[in-house]
Structure 1
Amino acid sequence: MSKVSIELPATASNDASLILRALNASNQSKVAEQLGVDPSTLSRLKNDKKSNDLTEVEFFTGLLSAVGLKVVNANDVYCSPEVAEATRVFLSNSFSSPDYMRILFK
């Protein structure tokens, strides 16, 4: 079987980097234990290239990107673009009111 190299979208590449940095900063033996696998399995997920020239971590971040998902830190807070826009409008209207600003920054 011939190798077919693909290039990951930037978002998938960034997600793979985020996962790899988190893995490298963690106790991989404990992570493997939590997953019920041998630590060498994690190493293979990170390092072994498959026929498409991607590691399994890269493949799964590419899959997430292809279906419109992304990887974020567990402590990050998410809001939709609609909520962000509503917040922007609310704040711009609120900050134009001197009374509101006095109450807000008492």
Structure 2
Amino acid sequence: MSKVLPELSEIARNNASLILRHINASNQSKVAEQVGVDASTLSRLKNDKKTSGLTEIEFIGALLTSVGLKVVDANDVYCSQEVAEATRVYLAHAFTSPEYMRILFK
């Protein structure tokens, strides 16, 4: 991914890597059929470098990164940074509360 800006490279590589891992772990013929292409087209998307030096999958990973998106596993649960921080604060207060600890370890 040499043509991708350095600040995008790591996330872009992670995006492309996750896409490729899931394609490779799947039945590629079935994946190709589901998206309406033949298996050779899917193979070209994965392997053929374009003039940018990126495969189409790498380009998609970089594109998603550049617009502020990332690829995650469909089974992952997402929460915003605000919700994560609120949860952290809540748990920090809960675990320092003698009443909470008494209830928890009853």
Please give the TM-score of this superposition, normalised by the length of structure 2. 0.89
Runs of 4+ in 1 over 4 A off after TM superposition: none
Specify the alignment match of 1:34 in structure 2.
Answer: 34
TM alignment of 1:4-83, pairs within 5 A: 6-7=3-4, 9-83=9-83
Superposition RMSD on alpha carbons, in Å?
Answer: 1.4
CA shift for structure 1 position 61: 0.6
Please give the TM-score of this superposition, normalised by the length of structure 1. 0.89
Write out per-residue CA displacement over residues 67-95 of structure 1, whole angstroms, 9 at most, x where no aligned residue. 11100100011111111111111111111
CA shift for structure 1 position 7: 3.4
CA shift for structure 1 position 21: 1.1
Whichever residue aligns with residue 42 of structure 1, its letter is: L
Count of aligned positions: 102
Structure 1 unaligned runs (5+)? none
CA shift for structure 1 position 22: 1.0
CA shift for structure 1 position 17: 1.0
CA shift for structure 1 position 40: 0.7
Structure 2 unaligned runs (5+)? none
Specify the alignment match of 1:86 in structure 2.
Answer: 86
CA shift for structure 1 position 14: 1.3
CA shift for structure 1 position 12: 0.3
Identical-pair percentage: 73
